[in-house]
Amino acid sequence: MTITRFAPSPTGHIHVGNLRTALFNYLIARKAGGSFILRLDDTDRERSKEEYADGIKRDLDWLGLHWDRVERQSLRLDRYAEAADGLRGAGRLYEVFETPTELDLKRKKQLNMGRPPVYDRTGLNLSEAEKQKLRAEGREGYWRFRLDHERIEWTDGILGDISIDAASVSDPVLIRADGQVLYTFASSVDDTDMGVTDIVRGADHVTNTATQIQIIRALGGTPPAFAHHSLLTGAKGEELSKRLGALSIRDLREAGVAPEALLSMMAHLGSSQPVALKTSLDELAAGFDLSHFGASPTKFDAEDLWPLTRELNQSLPFEAVRDRIAALGVPADLAERFWRVASQNITRLEDLADWWRIFHDGAEPQIDPEDAAFVAEALRLLPPPPYTDATWGEWTAEVKAQTGRKGKGLFMPLRKALTGQAHGPDMSEVMPLLQVVRARG
* pLDDT reported for residue 440: 67
* pLDDT reported for residue 275: 95
Q: Choose among 102, 90, 170: nearest CA to 139.
A: 102
Question: Is residue 439 over pLDDT 80?
Answer: no
How far apart are the C-alpha atoms of 361 and 430, rounded to whole Å? Answer: 14
Question: Is residue 32 over pLDDT 70?
Answer: yes
**CA 290, chain centre distance (Å):** 18
Least confident of 52-66, 106-120, 212-226, 308-322: 106-120
Q: How confident is the model at residue 45 (pLDDT cuts 50, 70, 90)?
A: confident
Give residue-wise pLDDT tens across range 174-200. 999 999 999 999 999 999 999 999 999
* pLDDT reported for residue 414: 97
Question: Is residue 160 over pLDDT 70?
Answer: yes
* pLDDT reported for residue 103: 96
**Mean per-residue pLDDT of the chain:** 95
Helices (H), 223-371: 249-255, 259-268, 281-286, 305-314, 318-327, 332-342, 351-361
How far apart are the C-alpha atoms of 354 and 334, rounded to whole Å? Answer: 16
Is there a contact between 292 and 320 (Cβ–Cβ < 8 Å)? no
What single-letter DSSP state applies at residue 22? H
Question: Is residue 159 over pLDDT 70?
Answer: yes
Is there a contact between 174 and 84 (Cβ–Cβ < 8 Å)? yes
Q: Is 242 annotated as a binding residue?
A: yes
The three state secondary structure string of 58-106 is HHHHHHCCCCCEEEEHHHCHHHHHHHHHHHHHCCCEEEECCCHHHHHHH
Return the bridge partners of 93, or none. Answer: 145
Residues recorded for the chain: 441
Is there a contact between 84 and 185 (Cβ–Cβ < 8 Å)? yes
* pLDDT reported for residue 246: 63
C-alpha triplet 268, 269, 272: angle, nearest 5°: 65
Domains of the chain (ranges; CATH) run 233-313 (1.10.1160.10), 323-440 (no CATH)
**CA 139, chain centre distance (Å):** 42
* pLDDT reported for residue 27: 98
Give residue-wise pLDDT tens across range 370-405. 999 999 999 999 999 999 999 999 999 999 999 999
* pLDDT reported for residue 373: 95
Q: How confident is the model at residue 238 (pLDDT cuts 50, 70, 90)?
A: confident
Q: Which residues contact 255 (CB under 8 A, 6 or more apart)?
A: 348
Over residues 128-135, mean pLDDT: 96
Return the bridge partners of 40, or none. Answer: 72
φ/ψ (deg, to 5) at 160: 85, -150
Give residue-wise pLDDT tens across range 241-299. 655 556 899 999 999 999 999 999 999 999 999 999 999 999 999 999 999 999 898 99
Give residue-wise pLDDT tens across range 58-103. 999 999 999 999 999 999 999 999 999 999 999 999 999 999 999 9
Q: Choose among 245, 190, 178: nearest CA to 71.
A: 190
